[in-house]
Structure 1
Amino acid sequence: MGSDFYPLPLFINRLFPSSSMAIEDEIIHWWKDEKGEQHRNAMRIERENAQEVNGFPRDGVIVFRIMNSASQQSIRLSPDEALRISTQLLAVAKELLNQKRKLWNEHED
């Protein structure tokens, strides 16, 4: 079992190694509606490697894909755009964690 088990994105990449689009990570979120029925949302990060086109190097592409049981939507980002978004996400996440930490400290006092 040990070496034959791979997380889903790596398993898919091993099944289709010639595919130019690689799945980097996927986060799945389950939730229940008012009726108690379960639904699945997923956020997937995919990448297309940099390549040479007509003798010129081209940037790779990062695809940010949101999927639910009814549809999916994606946006293609350049590496610069992805870095800009990741920097902003990091800053917002740190701020939210600090806010929670502050609330816990006030709660304990």
Structure 2
Amino acid sequence: MNRLEVTASGSTLGYVVQEWSIFVPKYEVQNAAGECVLRIEGPFCTWSMCGDVEFKVLSHDRKTQVGKITKQWTGFVQEMFTDADHFGITFPMDLEISIKALLLGACFLIDFMFFEKSNNE
């Protein structure tokens, strides 16, 4: 399982930890103490033709959606012939700044895990 540590000025803000799941990508967003503050759940299929791919940002108990991380469709030519991607992140305005930074880190992790291509692909 993957684990991303997010730091600022040498101090740890928290972690984004991949959870084991068979069907959908799941992540736990943890504060610096390792306590779960948010969860992220992706779609069954992370490859989408002519549409956005949405990862839901949920409360720690998974009862409410509080935001989303979206890989935005940029058009056929850019999607097929380049490795450039566009992402959007939505979250509550009153969310702690450290948690916002953790969601930005989660966006990078999701991009590297599902949307970056190696030289052989």
Q: Mark yes or no: TM-score above 0.5.
A: no
TM-score by length of 1: 0.36
Larger proportion of helix = 1
